[in-house]
Structure 1
Amino acid sequence: MEQRFLLETKEEEDMFRKYSDWRYFSNHFIQNVTSLVNEAKLRTGREDMAVPLESFKLTISGSGSYKVIRYRFEWIEFADSTGGQIIIGDVFEVEGLFLLGDGILDITVSSGYVIESVSPPGDADSGIDLRWNNVTNLESGEPEVVLRQRAFGVGAILREHAIMIISVILVLGIGSFSVWYFRFGKKAEKRVKGVAQPPEVQFELQDDEEKVVDLLRATGGRLYQSTVAERLEFSRSKTSKLLTSMEKEGRIRREKKGRQKVVILTNETRD
């Protein structure tokens, strides 16, 4: 779960303090997620479904009046694996799975997979990234996404255990919305049974947006978009998506120059 704060009012500062407090994270978010996973386990019959306590992480990044709080966890056996396919969908039958009740749903598939079928079709589909603009329009059990391993893949792509990393973005001060990001990874290692201790709060040095801001500040406030991708070693697709988000937030603007785009820091971000 990722929450972004523009700390321009006392209310926003109070909200930031609340959500960055480990006690809130432990007493509310972890308990809510654990309850949802237990319900999904009963509904799907996948007995190995779990969210290891040690996988919960709280990180804080950002600078000045712009802060980002990220909640992260692993969901083992999120999807069903059968007949050489991974099928996503049955956990969406659990009421309240989307903790904020609305928002955007993104599913990102790693390079080891291809999307075989999607129902209902997403509002955006790049072949790797799927997006539904409002989860309230989805019925129980939707969306259903079927993945299969790429023909050239090597053994470890399709696994009995699928790990799900879930993020939610809540933007305060501009009007709020939420985004759920689902990404599939490799099979989880077997975990030692027993009571795990609460993970420590980890502070990230920078997120991707802050890297872009620092790069632009160091180069006079403007760079070609292709140069941003090259300097930060981001793919063109990732750079475009990241800059589009930053442009909507008012952190940068872009101007067309010939066949290229120039990325320019806004005055507010320069300060």
Structure 2
Amino acid sequence: MNVRAGMAVAIAAALLVGAGPIGAANGASAAPARSGSSPFTLQQDQIDADEVRMDVALRPNGTAEWTVEFWMHLDDNESTTAFASLRDDIRDDPANHTRAFADRMRETVSTASNATGREMSVGGFDVGAKRQSFAREYGVVRYTFRWQGFAAVEGDDLRAGDALEGIYLDDGTRLLIAWPDGYERTAVTPEPDEDRDRAVIWRGSETDFVSGEPRVVVTAVGSGPPTAALAAVTVVLLGGAAAGWWYYTRRADRVDDGSAGPEPAPDAESPRVDSAETELPPSATTDAEQADATATDDAPDPELLSNEEQVLRLLRERGGRLKQQTVVEELDWTDAKTSKVVSGLREAGKLESFRLGRENVLSLPDGDDELVADTGDDSAE
């Protein structure tokens, strides 16, 4: 018999405690002997298990946490009394009940390690017994242990099942393999008898494993290379960050670091307007909808304009009149810097200002031929 077939029989023999010698050791070519209504004999108390549940929980490092449960119907006084006695024995001396099981599993894991070429070990054995009620009463004996190296770790993939290749499942036996959170199913062979959230189940009454089975391959979610869309978004974000830094440094070079001074009084020659008698034209509002419709595609880049040119351009875009506070908001300047630039333009005769309530309003002087020359914007002619 080949090594893998022997390994499968060995696993079955080890898990069916007391069912017979390990197949790999004695050259058996078939599954452990079974009797029609009593397929599994548990320990030496001759209590027959009606169901065997093998649950294998994979971990990202390839270790598997194993739970093997033997379920027995407690249909009469005899079976109930026998299970109660076994449960008491397990509680009083659990090591005695794990010793033979652990010895068989160590031989089994050694056989699996030789067959797969992967380093393996087993430990952490424990046993417990309890009664369980569903539609009927059960006595359950549960063995738990840890099998290191059970699954192969290949990059972001976990590949499990080769250590169980060809394992025989009796009609009353099921095998469940579960994978960790953060992994998704990539391949499962053969098709499971039942799918669960992050787990698959095979039942002996429905599945016979052949060479290369069972196999479960799962992959860490999001472990692959970034998609083209993600790469494009990354490029856009990096480009935006670079442009923002360039803009910030350019503006920083132009910021006037003079301290803030008092708001300049209206020019003595500028007419004073009573806010109760005069209403600003719509062009004086700061609503973004009043953006200039006369701007052309070949207009100069605002970043290349001087501070004064930026104020004059903004005035033209807003119909020749706007509040000084609008300049602060639109150009993102400080009050002090705005006041200094406005004062220089007013002294040069390139704009006028007057009070409207508590607001300082800026306006272009009569005729803007000079303004056109200053800003280099020929679209207004």
Q: TM-score range by the shorter chain?
A: 0.3 to 0.5
Structure number with the higher strand fraction is: 1
TM-score, normalised via structure 1 length: 0.46
Bigger CA radius of gyration: 2
Structure number with the higher helix fraction is: 2
Indicate the structure whose relative CO is greater, using CA pairs within 8 Å and at least 6 residues apart: 1
